[in-house]
Amino acid sequence: MRIVRPIDILPAALLDCNVPEAPPAAWDNAATYGLGAVVGITAGTVVTCYQSLQAGNVGYDPAASPDWWLAIGVTYLAWNVGATYALGDIVILNHREYESTQAANTGHAVTDTAWWLDQGPNNRWKMFDISNSSVTERELSVEAQVQVTGRADAVSMLNMVAASVRVEIETDDDGSIYDETFGLVSTSGVNDWYEYFFEPVIRQGDFTLYDLPMNANPRVRVTVTEPSGTASIGTVLIGQSRNLGTTIHPAKLGIQDFSRKDVDDFGNFTIVKRNFARRATFKVVVEEEAMDAISTLLATYRATAIMWLGVDQYTSSWLYGFYRDFSFDLSAPRETILNLELEGLT
């Protein structure tokens, strides 16, 4: 059993990200754009962002020239106190999105719930919020670099749609100290040649690295790549890991489904698919001498979401969330059983 205690990733710590937030410069029909240049086309408060696929890109309409431009995502205009917003317009303020709930919306602060609906973090910041089901999306790849103050030896990336992940670490004093790329194709459940050739390819949605270099104040860059479509990621966690002990049998793993299933008098079902949260109960063998330290550590992280790795090689035993209860059984000399009841986030 290992835990990862994530740092808080605040706006000042996010050094770089390829997911659009502030609208890029508007496309200019007469301008020449180089490979990788990003422009925006605005309709109302919606800004569709395009990235140039070639050098010498001039005169090609981004919305009608897929050989020259790639639509990489959508962002919104920043809230302007002097602007008038229509019903359904969306704006951004302090990295959050707000939707206008009335027409002729002028001069009303986004905190005025009679006029605005808070939709949560914007696309760039969804991967850093507490919800695992809200995802950051971008065509082909999602990339972000975070400045860590202090030390961190672990990275967790959860609820991904991607073919590969890359983790890079660098510091001012030592330059690049880590750079590895990992494929996400899972071999779980492939037990014979028939399954190898005919079962659908399954990818890992969750990925964790630990025992990374412990240099002080590193810059950590994560890149999630989906070459054939839209890359997405629900949660990025960066922090320090700690091994609590050895997970033993019995253990319980499962989910709590928040979907709604209603049936009428004639037996017809109406099903509304909603999010789910993982649940787990573990028994962990810990050294008796470590009991006080672990008890103090867990008390410190009460009501705090952290990453729990029940068994390293089985992602179904991983959970991002809280403990509901923990207790110790002193079952034998110099050996203690830590009982954990864990509740995951949706």
* pLDDT-derived band at 173, boundaries 50, 70, 90: very high
Q: Which CATH number fits domain 2-16+129-241: 2.40.340.10, 3.40.225.10, 2.60.120.260, 1.10.10.60?
A: 2.60.120.260
**pTM (global) more than 0.85:** yes
Across the chain, what does the average pLDDT equal? 96
Q: Where are the domains of the chain?
A: 2-16+129-241, 19-123, 246-344
Q: What is the pLDDT of residue 229?
A: 95
Q: What is the pLDDT of residue 198?
A: 83
Burial annotation 72-97 (CB, 10 A radius, 16+ → b, else e): bbebbbebeeeeebeeebbbbbebbb
> Measured between alpha carbons, how far is 43 from 99 in angstroms, rounded to an integer?
15
Write the CA distances from 121 to 72, 125, 272, integer angstroms: 18, 5, 24
Q: What is the mean pLDDT of residues 121-144?
A: 97
Taking a C-beta distance cutoff of 8 angstroms, is the pair 232, 142 a contact?
A: yes
Write out pLDDT tens, residues 324-338: 999 999 877 778 999
Tokens of 79: 């809230």
Write out pLDDT tens, residues 18-71: 999 999 999 999 999 999 999 999 999 999 999 999 999 999 999 999 999 999
Write out pLDDT tens, residues 227-254: 999 999 999 999 999 999 999 999 999 9
* pLDDT-derived band at 107, boundaries 50, 70, 90: very high
> Measured between alpha carbons, how far is 255 from 24 in angstroms, rounded to an integer?
41
> Measured between alpha carbons, how far is 69 from 50 in angstroms, rounded to an integer?
6
Q: What is the pLDDT of residue 191?
A: 81
